Amino acid sequence: MFLERICIQCQKSCIENAGLFCTRAFGFLPCFFVLVIIACGYYVTTVATFIPLLSSSLVGGILGLVVTQLLALNIVINFLLSVVCDPGGVPSSWKPKESMMKTTRGSWSRKVQLVQTDSTGDVQPTMTWEFKRNGAPRFCRYCATYKPDRTHHCRSCKRCILKMDHHCPWINNCVGFYNQKFFILFVYYAFLGCLFASVTGVMALKRALFIIGEEEGKQVVVAAIQVICYCLTTIFGLALLFFAVFHTMLVLKGRTTIEMHEIRDPARARMVRKYNLGWKRNWKKVFGNNWLYWFLPVRWSIDGDGLSFESNMDEQQMSLVESANEEGV
Ligand SMILES: [Zn+2]
Ligand SMILES: [Zn+2]
Protein backbone atom coordinates (compact mmCIF):
# COMPACT_ATOMS: atom_id res chain seq x y z
CA MET A 1 0.00 0.00 0.00
CA PHE A 2 1.98 2.90 -1.35
CA LEU A 3 -0.20 5.62 0.23
CA GLU A 4 0.12 4.11 3.70
CA ARG A 5 3.91 4.54 3.72
CA ILE A 6 5.12 6.88 6.45
CA CYS A 7 7.14 9.97 5.60
CA ILE A 8 10.52 9.79 7.38
CA GLN A 9 10.67 13.55 7.91
CA CYS A 10 7.20 14.44 9.20
CA GLN A 11 6.15 10.98 10.49
CA LYS A 12 2.81 11.21 8.66
CA SER A 13 1.30 8.83 6.09
CA CYS A 14 1.07 9.89 2.47
CA ILE A 15 -2.73 10.06 2.84
CA GLU A 16 -2.37 12.49 5.75
CA ASN A 17 0.16 14.56 3.81
CA ALA A 18 -2.10 14.62 0.75
CA GLY A 19 -4.97 15.76 2.99
CA LEU A 20 -2.87 18.54 4.50
CA PHE A 21 -1.72 19.64 1.04
CA CYS A 22 -5.32 19.75 -0.23
CA THR A 23 -6.47 21.69 2.87
CA ARG A 24 -3.74 24.27 2.31
CA ALA A 25 -4.35 24.46 -1.44
CA PHE A 26 -8.13 24.88 -0.97
CA GLY A 27 -7.37 27.52 1.66
CA PHE A 28 -6.12 29.77 -1.14
CA LEU A 29 -9.42 29.61 -3.07
CA PRO A 30 -10.92 32.62 -1.18
CA CYS A 31 -7.66 34.53 -1.91
CA PHE A 32 -8.17 33.79 -5.59
CA PHE A 33 -11.76 35.06 -5.31
CA VAL A 34 -10.50 38.33 -3.76
CA LEU A 35 -8.05 38.73 -6.67
CA VAL A 36 -10.94 38.19 -9.12
CA ILE A 37 -12.94 40.97 -7.40
CA ILE A 38 -9.90 43.28 -7.56
CA ALA A 39 -9.61 42.48 -11.27
CA CYS A 40 -13.34 43.27 -11.72
CA GLY A 41 -12.92 46.69 -10.11
CA TYR A 42 -9.83 47.35 -12.21
CA TYR A 43 -11.71 46.39 -15.37
CA VAL A 44 -14.67 48.66 -14.52
CA THR A 45 -12.46 51.71 -13.91
CA THR A 46 -9.65 51.24 -16.44
CA VAL A 47 -11.16 49.44 -19.43
CA ALA A 48 -14.85 50.39 -19.18
CA THR A 49 -14.59 53.96 -17.84
CA PHE A 50 -11.33 55.89 -18.19
CA ILE A 51 -9.80 54.52 -21.42
CA PRO A 52 -13.04 55.37 -23.36
CA LEU A 53 -13.04 58.77 -21.56
CA LEU A 54 -9.62 59.66 -23.07
CA SER A 55 -11.24 60.47 -26.45
CA SER A 56 -13.64 63.06 -24.98
CA SER A 57 -11.67 64.34 -21.95
CA LEU A 58 -7.92 63.69 -22.03
CA VAL A 59 -7.21 65.28 -18.62
CA GLY A 60 -10.12 63.52 -16.90
CA GLY A 61 -9.13 60.19 -18.46
CA ILE A 62 -5.46 60.46 -17.44
CA LEU A 63 -6.36 61.61 -13.93
CA GLY A 64 -8.76 58.70 -13.51
CA LEU A 65 -6.19 56.21 -14.80
CA VAL A 66 -3.50 57.53 -12.42
CA VAL A 67 -5.82 57.29 -9.39
CA THR A 68 -6.87 53.78 -10.46
CA GLN A 69 -3.25 52.57 -10.77
CA LEU A 70 -2.31 54.01 -7.36
CA LEU A 71 -5.31 52.40 -5.67
CA ALA A 72 -4.75 49.08 -7.45
CA LEU A 73 -1.07 49.07 -6.48
CA ASN A 74 -1.84 49.65 -2.79
CA ILE A 75 -4.66 47.10 -2.80
CA VAL A 76 -2.51 44.35 -4.35
CA ILE A 77 0.63 45.05 -2.26
CA ASN A 78 -1.26 45.17 1.06
CA PHE A 79 -3.27 42.08 0.12
CA LEU A 80 -0.16 40.07 -0.78
CA LEU A 81 1.65 41.25 2.37
CA SER A 82 -1.35 40.19 4.48
CA VAL A 83 -1.21 36.74 2.85
CA VAL A 84 2.54 36.10 2.99
CA CYS A 85 3.61 38.07 6.07
CA ASP A 86 4.04 35.95 9.20
CA PRO A 87 1.61 37.36 11.81
CA GLY A 88 4.11 36.39 14.51
CA GLY A 89 4.79 33.24 16.51
CA VAL A 90 6.11 32.68 20.02
CA PRO A 91 9.92 32.30 20.02
CA SER A 92 10.96 28.90 21.36
CA SER A 93 13.22 30.65 23.88
CA TRP A 94 10.34 32.65 25.40
CA LYS A 95 9.46 31.11 28.76
CA PRO A 96 8.83 32.12 32.36
CA LYS A 97 11.77 32.38 34.69
CA GLU A 98 11.40 29.33 36.94
CA SER A 99 12.42 31.11 40.15
CA MET A 100 9.71 33.72 39.67
CA MET A 101 6.88 31.39 38.72
CA LYS A 102 5.96 30.58 42.33
CA THR A 103 5.59 32.76 45.35
CA THR A 104 7.14 31.88 48.71
CA ARG A 105 3.74 30.51 49.78
CA GLY A 106 3.92 27.99 46.97
CA SER A 107 0.98 29.38 45.01
CA TRP A 108 1.36 30.79 41.51
CA SER A 109 2.45 34.38 41.42
CA ARG A 110 -0.05 36.73 39.76
CA LYS A 111 2.58 39.01 38.27
CA VAL A 112 5.37 36.96 36.84
CA GLN A 113 8.51 38.45 35.41
CA LEU A 114 9.17 36.56 32.23
CA VAL A 115 12.43 36.38 30.39
CA GLN A 116 13.06 36.11 26.73
CA THR A 117 16.33 34.41 25.96
CA ASP A 118 17.36 34.92 22.37
CA SER A 119 19.91 32.95 20.39
CA THR A 120 22.76 35.18 21.61
CA GLY A 121 21.97 34.27 25.20
CA ASP A 122 20.76 37.76 26.07
CA VAL A 123 18.10 37.90 28.75
CA GLN A 124 15.38 40.49 28.29
CA PRO A 125 12.94 40.80 31.17
CA THR A 126 9.33 41.43 30.15
CA MET A 127 6.31 41.89 32.37
CA THR A 128 3.12 40.02 31.53
CA TRP A 129 -0.34 40.79 32.82
CA GLU A 130 -2.44 37.88 31.66
CA PHE A 131 -2.59 34.67 33.66
CA LYS A 132 -4.86 31.69 34.07
CA ARG A 133 -7.57 31.85 36.74
CA ASN A 134 -5.31 30.00 39.20
CA GLY A 135 -2.58 32.58 38.59
CA ALA A 136 -0.35 30.25 36.55
CA PRO A 137 1.26 31.52 33.34
CA ARG A 138 -0.84 30.92 30.21
CA PHE A 139 0.25 27.75 28.43
CA CYS A 140 -0.70 26.31 25.04
CA ARG A 141 -1.14 22.55 25.26
CA TYR A 142 -1.13 22.19 21.45
CA CYS A 143 2.18 23.99 20.91
CA ALA A 144 3.57 23.07 24.36
CA THR A 145 4.73 26.64 24.86
CA TYR A 146 3.96 29.53 27.20
CA LYS A 147 1.79 32.27 25.76
CA PRO A 148 2.71 35.98 25.96
CA ASP A 149 -0.09 38.50 26.56
CA ARG A 150 -2.70 38.72 23.78
CA THR A 151 -1.34 35.53 22.17
CA HIS A 152 -3.90 32.90 21.16
CA HIS A 153 -3.75 29.52 19.49
CA CYS A 154 -5.19 29.41 15.97
CA ARG A 155 -6.73 26.06 15.07
CA SER A 156 -6.51 26.82 11.34
CA CYS A 157 -2.82 27.82 11.41
CA LYS A 158 -2.17 25.18 14.11
CA ARG A 159 0.09 27.47 16.12
CA CYS A 160 0.05 30.35 18.58
CA ILE A 161 -0.17 33.84 17.07
CA LEU A 162 1.15 37.02 18.71
CA LYS A 163 -1.58 39.60 19.35
CA MET A 164 -4.00 37.43 17.41
CA ASP A 165 -6.89 39.42 15.97
CA HIS A 166 -8.66 36.69 14.01
CA HIS A 167 -8.05 34.02 11.38
CA CYS A 168 -9.12 35.43 8.03
CA PRO A 169 -10.05 32.88 5.33
CA TRP A 170 -9.89 35.64 2.66
CA ILE A 171 -6.13 35.92 3.18
CA ASN A 172 -5.70 32.28 4.29
CA ASN A 173 -3.69 33.62 7.21
CA CYS A 174 -4.08 34.90 10.72
CA VAL A 175 -4.21 38.61 11.39
CA GLY A 176 -1.67 39.16 14.14
CA PHE A 177 0.96 41.56 15.45
CA TYR A 178 3.16 41.66 12.32
CA ASN A 179 0.53 41.82 9.55
CA GLN A 180 -2.34 43.70 11.21
CA LYS A 181 -1.39 47.00 9.56
CA PHE A 182 -1.22 45.41 6.08
CA PHE A 183 -4.61 43.75 6.57
CA ILE A 184 -6.32 46.96 7.69
CA LEU A 185 -4.67 48.98 4.90
CA PHE A 186 -5.90 46.36 2.42
CA VAL A 187 -9.44 46.81 3.77
CA TYR A 188 -9.14 50.63 3.52
CA TYR A 189 -7.69 50.72 0.01
CA ALA A 190 -10.00 47.97 -1.28
CA PHE A 191 -13.00 49.92 0.04
CA LEU A 192 -11.73 53.15 -1.58
CA GLY A 193 -11.09 51.25 -4.82
CA CYS A 194 -14.60 49.78 -4.86
CA LEU A 195 -16.14 53.16 -4.02
CA PHE A 196 -14.12 54.82 -6.80
CA ALA A 197 -15.15 52.13 -9.30
CA SER A 198 -18.83 52.31 -8.27
CA VAL A 199 -19.03 56.11 -8.52
CA THR A 200 -17.00 56.62 -11.70
CA GLY A 201 -18.40 53.49 -13.37
CA VAL A 202 -22.03 54.67 -13.36
CA MET A 203 -21.79 56.05 -16.92
CA ALA A 204 -20.18 52.82 -18.14
CA LEU A 205 -22.96 50.86 -16.43
CA LYS A 206 -25.65 52.92 -18.16
CA ARG A 207 -23.90 52.41 -21.50
CA ALA A 208 -23.63 48.66 -20.90
CA LEU A 209 -27.31 48.35 -19.92
CA PHE A 210 -28.30 50.29 -23.05
CA ILE A 211 -26.22 47.93 -25.22
CA ILE A 212 -27.81 44.86 -23.58
CA GLY A 213 -31.29 46.28 -24.34
CA GLU A 214 -30.60 47.46 -27.89
CA GLU A 215 -27.74 45.53 -29.47
CA GLU A 216 -26.96 41.88 -30.28
CA GLY A 217 -23.94 39.56 -30.52
CA LYS A 218 -20.45 40.03 -29.05
CA GLN A 219 -21.15 43.57 -27.81
CA VAL A 220 -23.89 42.25 -25.51
CA VAL A 221 -21.52 39.69 -23.96
CA VAL A 222 -18.92 42.42 -23.24
CA ALA A 223 -21.62 44.70 -21.80
CA ALA A 224 -22.95 41.86 -19.60
CA ILE A 225 -19.41 41.25 -18.25
CA GLN A 226 -19.16 44.96 -17.43
CA VAL A 227 -22.48 44.88 -15.53
CA ILE A 228 -21.44 41.76 -13.57
CA CYS A 229 -18.04 43.33 -12.69
CA TYR A 230 -19.77 46.54 -11.60
CA CYS A 231 -22.24 44.67 -9.36
CA LEU A 232 -19.52 42.48 -7.76
CA THR A 233 -17.34 45.54 -7.06
CA THR A 234 -20.22 47.46 -5.49
CA ILE A 235 -21.36 44.54 -3.28
CA PHE A 236 -17.76 43.88 -2.17
CA GLY A 237 -17.33 47.61 -1.43
CA LEU A 238 -20.40 47.63 0.86
CA ALA A 239 -19.03 44.65 2.81
CA LEU A 240 -15.64 46.37 3.06
CA LEU A 241 -17.26 49.52 4.45
CA PHE A 242 -18.48 47.46 7.40
CA PHE A 243 -15.02 45.91 7.95
CA ALA A 244 -13.25 49.28 7.61
CA VAL A 245 -15.48 50.89 10.27
CA PHE A 246 -15.30 47.82 12.53
CA HIS A 247 -11.48 47.53 12.47
CA THR A 248 -10.97 51.29 12.83
CA MET A 249 -13.16 51.22 15.93
CA LEU A 250 -11.15 48.32 17.37
CA VAL A 251 -7.80 50.00 16.62
CA LEU A 252 -8.92 53.25 18.27
CA LYS A 253 -10.06 51.31 21.35
CA GLY A 254 -6.77 49.36 21.49
CA ARG A 255 -8.58 46.04 21.14
CA THR A 256 -8.40 42.95 18.95
CA THR A 257 -11.43 41.10 17.56
CA ILE A 258 -10.87 38.31 20.11
CA GLU A 259 -10.67 40.86 22.94
CA MET A 260 -13.92 42.43 21.73
CA HIS A 261 -15.59 39.09 22.59
CA GLU A 262 -13.56 38.62 25.77
CA ILE A 263 -14.69 41.98 27.17
CA ARG A 264 -18.19 40.52 27.67
CA ASP A 265 -16.70 38.39 30.45
CA PRO A 266 -16.53 40.67 33.53
CA ALA A 267 -13.43 38.83 34.78
CA ARG A 268 -11.60 39.56 31.50
CA ALA A 269 -13.05 43.02 30.85
CA ARG A 270 -10.64 44.85 33.15
CA MET A 271 -7.64 43.00 31.68
CA VAL A 272 -8.71 43.90 28.14
CA ARG A 273 -9.38 47.57 28.94
CA LYS A 274 -5.85 48.05 30.28
CA TYR A 275 -4.49 47.96 26.69
CA ASN A 276 -6.48 51.09 25.86
CA LEU A 277 -3.87 53.87 25.87
CA GLY A 278 -6.17 56.53 24.38
CA TRP A 279 -7.20 56.63 20.74
CA LYS A 280 -4.10 58.51 19.49
CA ARG A 281 -1.58 56.14 21.05
CA ASN A 282 -3.72 53.12 20.14
CA TRP A 283 -3.65 54.21 16.49
CA LYS A 284 0.14 54.70 16.59
CA LYS A 285 0.62 51.22 18.10
CA VAL A 286 -0.81 49.72 14.89
CA PHE A 287 0.13 52.26 12.21
CA GLY A 288 3.41 53.64 13.62
CA ASN A 289 4.64 56.80 15.31
CA ASN A 290 5.50 58.65 12.08
CA TRP A 291 2.35 59.82 10.24
CA LEU A 292 4.25 59.83 6.93
CA TYR A 293 4.25 56.00 6.98
CA TRP A 294 0.69 55.48 8.24
CA PHE A 295 -0.82 54.66 4.85
CA LEU A 296 2.23 53.08 3.23
CA PRO A 297 2.66 49.29 3.13
CA VAL A 298 5.60 49.34 5.55
CA ARG A 299 6.00 48.60 9.27
CA TRP A 300 8.48 51.41 9.90
CA SER A 301 8.16 53.29 13.23
CA ILE A 302 5.89 50.66 14.81
CA ASP A 303 6.93 49.97 18.41
CA GLY A 304 7.02 46.62 20.17
CA ASP A 305 7.77 42.98 19.54
CA GLY A 306 4.30 41.45 20.11
CA LEU A 307 5.54 39.73 23.29
CA SER A 308 4.70 42.44 25.80
CA PHE A 309 2.36 45.44 25.70
CA GLU A 310 2.03 48.76 27.42
CA SER A 311 -0.76 49.07 29.93
CA ASN A 312 -2.72 52.09 31.08
CA MET A 313 -2.36 50.80 34.66
CA ASP A 314 0.76 50.54 36.75
CA GLU A 315 1.55 47.48 38.81
CA GLN A 316 -0.02 48.90 41.95
CA GLN A 317 -3.32 49.63 40.19
CA MET A 318 -3.34 46.12 38.73
CA SER A 319 -2.91 44.64 42.21
CA LEU A 320 -5.94 46.60 43.39
CA VAL A 321 -7.97 45.40 40.41
CA GLU A 322 -6.92 41.80 41.00
CA SER A 323 -7.69 41.87 44.70
CA ALA A 324 -11.09 43.37 43.83
CA ASN A 325 -11.64 40.51 41.36
CA GLU A 326 -10.61 37.92 43.93
CA GLU A 327 -13.05 39.39 46.42
CA GLY A 328 -15.75 39.09 43.77
CA VAL A 329 -16.38 42.86 43.48
ZN1 LIG B 1 -0.58 27.16 20.36
ZN1 LIG C 1 -4.79 31.35 11.79
Cα torsion for 225, 71, 249, 201, to the nearest 10°? -40
pLDDT over threshold 70, residue 187: yes
pLDDT over threshold 70, residue 118: no
What pLDDT is recorded for position 93? 76
User: Among the options 31, 168, 194, 229, which is catalytic?
Assistant: 168
Q: Distance, CA 159 to ligand 1 centroid (Å)? A: 4
**Ligand minimally distant from the alpha carbon of residue 152:** 1
Tell me which residue of 281, 276, 237, 278 sits closest to 256, measured CA to CA.
Answer: 276
Q: Distance, CA 104 to ligand 2 centroid (Å)? A: 39
Q: Distance, CA 172 to ligand 2 centroid (Å)? A: 8
| Averaged pLDDT score across all residues of the chain | 84
pLDDT over threshold 50, residue 298: yes
Which H/E stretch holds residue 168? strand 166-168
What pLDDT is recorded for position 221? 92
What pLDDT is recorded for position 121? 54
**Ligand minimally distant from the alpha carbon of residue 139:** 1
Q: Is 115 helix (H, G, I), strand (E, B) or coil?
A: strand
Q: Distance, CA 71 to ligand 1 centroid (Å)? A: 37
Is residue 129 very low, low, confident or very high in pLDDT (cuts 50, 70, 90)? confident
Which of 41-55, 86-100, 122-136, 299-313 has the least mean pLDDT? 122-136
Q: Mark whether 168 is an active-site residue.
A: yes
CB-proximal residues (5 Å) to ion ligand 2 = 154, 156-157, 167, 174
What pLDDT is recorded for position 218? 85
Per residue in 214-227, is it b (16+ CB within 10 Å) or e — as a string? eeeeeeeeebeebb
**Ligand minimally distant from the alpha carbon of residue 160:** 1
Q: Distance, CA 204 to ligand 1 centroid (Å)? A: 50
Q: Give the percent of the chain with pLDDT over 90.
A: 60
| Average pLDDT estimate for 266-287 | 90
Of 223 and 99, the one with more pLDDT:
223
What pLDDT is recorded for position 1? 44
